[in-house]
A and B are shown apart, each in its own frame.
Chain A
C-alpha cells in the first residue's frame, strides 16, 4: 500500500469531474488536484451524449422560460431555488465552453446555434451536430491538459471514501496497472462518477456506468435523494439499447406506429414528438400494448421516421443518428424509419447536494448525474443534464477548493491505517474468494428483476418482489468467486466491486419506489396512478444504517411556480 496526498481528489473524469477540476485549478494555482478515474477521461460516458445542452442565449428566451419548463418537466419535484440558480449560470458555462474551443454548431452569422428539444417551449438547446457529449468531453479533457495543478490517476478504481471524525479525508483506490491499493489523502473529495444505468438490462448507458460514486457516498454517510426516479428514453435501438438522440425529433422527426400514424396526437397533441420523455415512453408502451407496434427479433418497437427531413439535414444535423442506425440497426434513416423503443437512460436521483455541491458530509462534494441537487425532480428535460454537469461541476470544484483552502495541511500519515481494512476486504476477502456463484449470472439476474419490476410502470407487488429479490442477490453476491487471482489489471475484480455497488443502488431504487405511493414524472405506479401533492410533494432521502436503509423526507423548495396539473 502506497500513499499519495492532494488538496482535492475528484472521482470521475467526465464532464462534471473535468469541469470541477478546471474550476478548482482556476481558484488557486497552489491547489494540487487529482482526477481519479477508472477509465481514461475521454472514455467517460459523457462521450455518448448526443443531442445538446440547454442555455438561455437568445433575446426571445428568458430565465423564467427555461426555469418554468424545467420545473414543469420535473412534475414540480425540482427545487425551484436550484432551478433558478441553474438557468442563470448555464449561459456563461456554454460561452466558456465556446472559448475553450468546443465546436458548437453555428448560425450563418457565426453565433452559436440552438435547436428545439423535448419539453422546452422555445429553441434553447445548444449543439455540436449530434455528438455534443463527445465534443464537450474532449474539449474539457484537452483543455484540462493546460493546467499544471491538475494531475490524473487514469485507470484507478476508487473502492472507498476514507472518513475520519465524520469528515471525508481521502479515498482508497486500486491502481489497475500495478494491482496496488493506494490511500490517497485529500482535504476535499468530489464525486463525479455519473449514473447507474447498468443496474438495468436495457439501457443506453455504457459498461462503466455502475453508480460507483453513489454507493461510495452512501457508505460514507451521505444520503441518496430521489432514487426512485429513473428516466427511460423513448428512442433506443432494440437489442443493444443504443441511444437515438431526441435531436432527431427536435429537428422534425416523427414517431409512427405500424399503421403509419403519428400516434402521439392521442397522448400529447400540443407537443407531439417534442413532449417530455416520461410521457413519450409511456405512450410508446401503450401503443405497443394495444397492438400497434412492429414486431422484431428483440420484441416490439415503433418507428422513428426521418425520411421527410431529407439527406442533407440528416447529414448536417444528425450524422451520428445515421451512422448508428446504419451500423447497429442496418437501416438508413434517409430511406427507412429507425426501429426504436424506450430504455433506461438517466437517473434523476443521486447523492444529495445543495447548489454548491456540498453533500452535508464535511469535505465531500458531488456533481453531475451522480448528484441530485435537484433540478430534475421526477423527470429531467433533455439537454439539461450536460448543462447541469457544467454548472454544478464548476460549483462543486469551487466549493471543494474553498473548503480545501480552509483546512489545515494534511498530516504526515493520517490515513494509511484507514485502508488496512480495505486492503484486507479486497485482497484477502474478495480476491481469494472461491464461491459457487457466477458474477455475470448474479448481475444479469439483478438487471432482469429491475427491468421487469422497477421499469417504466411499477406497482406495490412488483416493487416488493424486486426488493426481496435484490436482497437475495446480495446474499448470493457474497458467494461470487473471483477466478483471476492476479491483482494486476484485474477487470474481474473491478466488475465484482461494481456489482457490489450496483446491488446497493438497486435496493435503494426499489425501496424508494415502494415508499412513493403516487405517480409523478417518470415514477408511474399502476396502483397509485395520480400525483398526490398532499402526501408526496417531497424528496425521498435514503440513509445507510447498520440495519439497512432508512428513509426520510425533505420538503421541495417552491419559489414562484405553484404545483399545477402537468398538461402538454
Chain B
C-alpha cells in the first residue's frame, strides 16, 4: 500500500456499532500521511482502503455544508477544514460530537437540533405581505450588516458539542438556534418579533445560557452565538419591561 519511506500517521477513532455491542470502543488506524491532508481525507482513506464499515457524514469538503463535524483531540471541529499537520498529539483522537446521542461510529443524532431550529421560527414573519409585483423590500447595506453575522450559521452542531449547558439540559434551545432567531429579529423586513421572542425566551430558552462562550470559540463561521444570546436576552428584557410599564402601548 505505502512505499517504504512514506510518512505514516496513526489515528484513534471512537467506534460505535450498535449491532455488535452497546459500548463504544476505540480502533487505531495507521495510514500514509501527506502534508496537505485534512482529517476528513484520513477518514476517507480508511473507508476506501482499510475499513469500508467506518461510518461518518460528509459532502462538500469545503466547510459550508456543515455535515462533517467531529471531536478531534477533544475539540469540536469540521473535519474537512482541519489539517493533520496542525494536530500535535499522536495518535490523533477522533470522536463523535459530544452532547448528542451516537447512532453509529461518528454519526450523531441531530434530530433534537432540528426541533429547536423549527421552534425558533427562523423565517420572515410579516403582518402584511407586499405583492411580488411591487418589488423588493428596500434594505440598505447597513441594515443587512446588522444580521449578516448570524446569517452565516451552517448548522454544523459544533457549538452544541461545546456547550456545557446543553450538556446537562438537552431541552436547552442552544447556541445555533438562538443565533438564527436573532438573525431574523435583526432583519429590517421581519415583523414577527413578538412571537419569536416568546418562543425563545422560555424556561429552556435563552435564559439558560450562562455565557460560558465556548460556542463562539468553536464556531467555524464566526457567528458568535454567545453574543447573539446576550442580544436576545436584552431584546426580550426590553420587551418585557415595555409590556409591564406600558401595557396598552403598541409593541
Residue positions of A touching B, CB distance < 8 A: 39-40, 42-45, 47-48, 92, 95-96, 98-101, 103-112, 131, 134-135, 138, 142-143, 145-146, 154, 177, 206-208, 239-240, 242-243, 297, 320, 323-324, 327-328, 439-440, 444, 482-484, 486, 488-492
The number of chain B residues with a CB under 8 A from chain A is 61
Judge whether B107 is part of the interface by a CB distance below 8 angstroms.
yes
Docked CA distance A145–B49 (Å): 40
Taking a contact as CB atoms under 8 Å apart, the answer to whether B104 and A146 are in contact is no
Docked CA distance A98–B143 (Å): 14
Taking a contact as CB atoms under 8 Å apart, the answer to whether B64 and A134 are in contact is yes
Judge whether B52 is part of the interface by a CB distance below 8 angstroms.
yes
Taking a contact as CB atoms under 8 Å apart, the answer to whether B151 and A483 are in contact is no
Taking a contact as CB atoms under 8 Å apart, the answer to whether A43 and B59 are in contact is yes
Contact of A103 with B147 at beta-carbon distance under 8 Å, contacts A43-B67, A145-B123, A206-B65 already known: yes
Which chain A residue lies CB-closest to B17?
A: A486
Taking a contact as CB atoms under 8 Å apart, the answer to whether A488 and B114 are in contact is no
A486 touches which of B19, B109, B151, B152 (Cβ 8 Å)? B19
Chain B residue contacts of A99, Cβ below 8 A? 124, 126, 129-130, 132, 136-137, 189
B103 touches which of A106, A177, A206, A444 (Cβ 8 Å)? A177
Contact of A103 with B148 at beta-carbon distance under 8 Å, contacts A40-B114, A491-B55 already known: yes
Docked CA distance A444–B49 (Å): 12
Chain B residue contacts of A109, Cβ below 8 A? 138, 140
Docked CA distance A42–B66 (Å): 8
What does the 1/0 interface line of B50-81 toward A look like (CB < 8 Å)?
01110111111111111100000000000001
Distance from B183 Cβ to chain A, minimum over Cβ atoms (Å)? 9
Docked CA distance A207–B56 (Å): 12
| Closest 10 A/B residue pairs (Cβ) | A110-B138, A440-B48, A206-B59, A484-B53, A486-B19, A101-B124, A206-B60, A142-B122, A98-B136, A489-B104
Chain B residue contacts of A101, Cβ below 8 A? 123-124, 184, 187, 189-190
Taking a contact as CB atoms under 8 Å apart, the answer to whether B124 and A440 are in contact is no
Q: List 24 A-B contacts (CB under 8 A).
A: A39-B59, A42-B155, A45-B59, A47-B154, A99-B137, A100-B123, A103-B151, A105-B141, A109-B140, A145-B123, A206-B59, A206-B61, A207-B60, A242-B61, A242-B62, A439-B48, A440-B48, A440-B52, A486-B19, A488-B18, A488-B19, A489-B104, A490-B55, A491-B56
Chain A residue contacts of B57, Cβ below 8 A? 39, 43
Taking a contact as CB atoms under 8 Å apart, the answer to whether A47 and B60 are in contact is yes
Chain A residue contacts of B104, Cβ below 8 A? 488-489
Chain B, range 134-161, C-beta contacts under 8 Å to A = 135-141, 143-144, 147-148, 151-155
Chain B residue contacts of A44, Cβ below 8 A? 65
Which chain B residue lies CB-closest to A241?
A: B61
Docked CA distance A101–B85 (Å): 40
Taking a contact as CB atoms under 8 Å apart, the answer to whether A92 and B103 are in contact is no
Which chain A residue lies CB-closest to B63?
A: A327
Taking a contact as CB atoms under 8 Å apart, the answer to whether B61 and A240 are in contact is yes
Known: A98-B136, A145-B117, A483-B52. 10 other contacts (CB 8 A): A43-B57, A48-B62, A96-B132, A99-B126, A99-B130, A100-B123, A109-B140, A145-B118, A177-B103, A206-B61
Taking a contact as CB atoms under 8 Å apart, the answer to whether A43 and B65 are in contact is yes
Docked CA distance A486–B57 (Å): 17
Contact of A154 with B141 at beta-carbon distance under 8 Å, contacts A95-B132, A328-B62, A489-B103 already known: no
What does the 1/0 interface line of B87-110 toward A look like (CB < 8 Å)?
000000000000000011001011
Distance from B27 Cβ to chain A, minimum over Cβ atoms (Å)? 14
Contact of A47 with B65 at beta-carbon distance under 8 Å, contacts A327-B81, A489-B55, A492-B53 already known: yes
Taking a contact as CB atoms under 8 Å apart, the answer to whether A106 and B141 are in contact is yes
Distance from B104 Cβ to chain A, minimum over Cβ atoms (Å)? 4
Docked CA distance A111–B122 (Å): 23
Chain A residue contacts of B124, Cβ below 8 A? 99-101, 143
User: Which of B57, B58, B133, B153 is the most central at the interface, judged by chain A CB atoms within 10 Å of its CB?
Assistant: B57
Distance from B242 Cβ to chain A, minimum over Cβ atoms (Å)? 25
Which chain A residue lies CB-closest to B81?
A: A327
Docked CA distance A112–B138 (Å): 8
Docked CA distance A484–B52 (Å): 7
Chain B residue contacts of A40, Cβ below 8 A? 110, 114, 155
Taking a contact as CB atoms under 8 Å apart, the answer to whether A106 and B140 are in contact is yes
Chain A residue contacts of B107, Cβ below 8 A? 489
Judge whether B36 is part of the interface by a CB distance below 8 angstroms.
yes
Distance from A316 Cβ to chain B, minimum over Cβ atoms (Å)? 9
Judge whether B180 is part of the interface by a CB distance below 8 angstroms.
yes
Taking a contact as CB atoms under 8 Å apart, the answer to whether A106 and B52 are in contact is no
Chain A residue contacts of B152, Cβ below 8 A? 131
Distance from B41 Cβ to chain A, minimum over Cβ atoms (Å)? 9
Docked CA distance A313–B187 (Å): 24
Chain B residue contacts of A48, Cβ below 8 A? 60, 62, 64-65
Chain B residue contacts of A95, Cβ below 8 A? 132, 135-136
User: Which of B60, B118, B130, B147 is the most central at the interface, judged by chain A CB atoms within 10 Å of its CB?
Assistant: B60
Docked CA distance A145–B65 (Å): 19
Which chain A residue lies CB-closest to B18?
A: A488
Chain B residue contacts of A96, Cβ below 8 A? 132
Docked CA distance A168–B9 (Å): 50
Docked CA distance A479–B147 (Å): 53
Taking a contact as CB atoms under 8 Å apart, the answer to whether B62 and A492 are in contact is no
Which chain B residue lies CB-closest to A441?
A: B48
Docked CA distance A105–B155 (Å): 22
Docked CA distance A442–B127 (Å): 56
Chain B residue contacts of A92, Cβ below 8 A? 132-133
User: Which of B133, B139, B190 is the most central at the interface, judged by chain A CB atoms within 10 Å of its CB?
Assistant: B139
Taking a contact as CB atoms under 8 Å apart, the answer to whether B58 and A207 are in contact is yes
Chain B residue contacts of A110, Cβ below 8 A? 138-140, 143
Taking a contact as CB atoms under 8 Å apart, the answer to whether A135 and B151 are in contact is yes
Taking a contact as CB atoms under 8 Å apart, the answer to whether A45 and B103 are in contact is no
Taking a contact as CB atoms under 8 Å apart, the answer to whether A43 and B66 are in contact is yes
Which chain A residue lies CB-closest to B148?
A: A103
Distance from B117 Cβ to chain A, minimum over Cβ atoms (Å)? 7
Distance from A102 Cβ to chain B, minimum over Cβ atoms (Å)? 9
Distance from B46 Cβ to chain A, minimum over Cβ atoms (Å)? 11
Taking a contact as CB atoms under 8 Å apart, the answer to whether A208 and B59 are in contact is yes
Chain A residue contacts of B56, Cβ below 8 A? 491
Taking a contact as CB atoms under 8 Å apart, the answer to whether A142 and B123 are in contact is yes
Chain A residue contacts of B138, Cβ below 8 A? 109-111
Docked CA distance A482–B55 (Å): 13
Distance from B59 Cβ to chain A, minimum over Cβ atoms (Å)? 4
Taking a contact as CB atoms under 8 Å apart, the answer to whether B151 and A112 are in contact is no
Chain B residue contacts of A320, Cβ below 8 A? 64
Which chain B residue lies CB-closest to A154?
A: B114
What does the 1/0 interface line of B6-48 toward A look like (CB < 8 Å)?
0000000000011100000000000000001000000000011
Distance from A74 Cβ to chain B, minimum over Cβ atoms (Å)? 28
Docked CA distance A110–B56 (Å): 43
Chain B residue contacts of A492, Cβ below 8 A? 47, 52-53
